[in-house]
């Protein structure tokens, strides 16, 4: 939806939700249900937004899932790499990665 300004040009409505918070909530939902089992209705209910806002902010459910995966990776990869690098052999590294 567009709002007309005083000069006759269209302006996009400002986002009414925190995209980072939406990604975090989406990440939790995808984690618990999986991407395929998470519906657009599930996402909009948990995120507290309408489908148009989800599409405007993220493009699609799949793109939100990709952003959630990137968020998960950025938060958790450092610890996994550290555990792997501190292991004394391959089996210890594998065990550390899997238990993490």
CATH code, domain carrying 67: 1.10.357.10
Question: pLDDT tens digits, residue range 76-99?
Answer: 887 777 777 887 888 888 887 787
* pLDDT per position as a tens digit, 16-26: 789 999 999 99
pLDDT in tens, 61-79: 999 999 999 998 888 887 7
**Number of structural domains the chain divides into:** 1
Concatenating the DSSP letter of every residue in 28-63 gives HHHHHH-TTT--HHHHHHHHT--HHHHHHHHSSHHH
Give the model's pLDDT for residue 42. 96
Mean residue pLDDT of the chain comes to: 83
pLDDT for position 1: 43
Q: Which residues span the domain enclosing 22?
A: 2-99
Axis crossing angle, helix 19-33 with helix 61-86, rounded to the nearest 10 = 80
pLDDT at residue 9 greater than cutoff 70: no
pTM metric for this prediction: 0.67
């Amino acid at each position: 939806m567009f709002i007309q300004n005083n000069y006759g040009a269209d302006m996009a409505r400002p986002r009414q939700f925190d995209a980072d918070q939406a990604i975090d909530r989406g990440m939790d939902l995808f984690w618990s249900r999986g991407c395929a089992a998470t519906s657009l209705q599930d996402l909009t209910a948990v995120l507290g937004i309408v489908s148009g806002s989800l599409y405007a902010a993220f493009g699609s459910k799949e793109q939100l899932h990709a952003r959630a995966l990137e968020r998960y990776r950025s938060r958790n990869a450092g610890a996994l790499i550290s555990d792997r690098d501190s292991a004394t052999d391959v089996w210890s590294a594998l065990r550390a990665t899997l238990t993490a």
